[in-house]
Amino acid sequence: MGLPSQALKLTDQSLLIVLSHGGTYDQGRALLLFAKCKVAAAAGQPADVRKKAFNEAICLLNKVKINFQKTEAYYRVKDVLYLQVKSLLRDSLKVLV
């Protein structure tokens, strides 16, 4: 059905508005959603496209973590760290196999 790619398009359209006018917490939430959609949309793609999407998502998650640390939303920082570790482990396990 292509729902992850549709979600990616919608978040991409809204991201500029949130990043330019939203607060730090809202920017972090928007970037987190964008990173999740980017990884989900790359699920059915070839390995090189998936790897590129994972690397971009990890870079976005670093920005998200900084935004959540600025607003002292440490429970969200913990979620971001969990996603980063999960992405890194998944990527490293596929390299080993």
What pLDDT, in 10s, does the model give residues 42-89?
Answer: 888 888 888 898 889 999 999 999 999 999 999 999 999 998 888 777
Residue pair 96/63 in contact by the 8 Å Cβ criterion: no
Is the pTM here over 0.95, yes or no?
A: no
Mean pLDDT of 37-46: 89
Give the chain's domain count: 1
Tokens of 17: 């508005």
Average pLDDT over residues 31-49: 90
Instruction: State which residues form the domain around 8.
Output: 3-96
Tell me what pLDDT residue 88 has. 76
- Are the beta carbons of 58 and 88 closer than 8 angstroms? yes
Cβ proximity of 40 and 53 under 8 Å: no
The whole-angstrom separation of Cα 94 and Cα 97 is 5
DSSP 58-76: HHHHHHHHHHHHHTT-HHH
The CA-based angle 73-79-83, given to 5 degrees, is 145
Query: How far apart are the C-alpha atoms of 22 and 39, rounded to whole Å?
Result: 24
pLDDT of residue 91: 65
Of 7-16, 23-32, 53-62, 81-90, the one with minimum mean pLDDT is 81-90
- What is the percentage of the chain residues whose pLDDT exceeds 90? 61
Residue 44's pLDDT is what?
A: 83
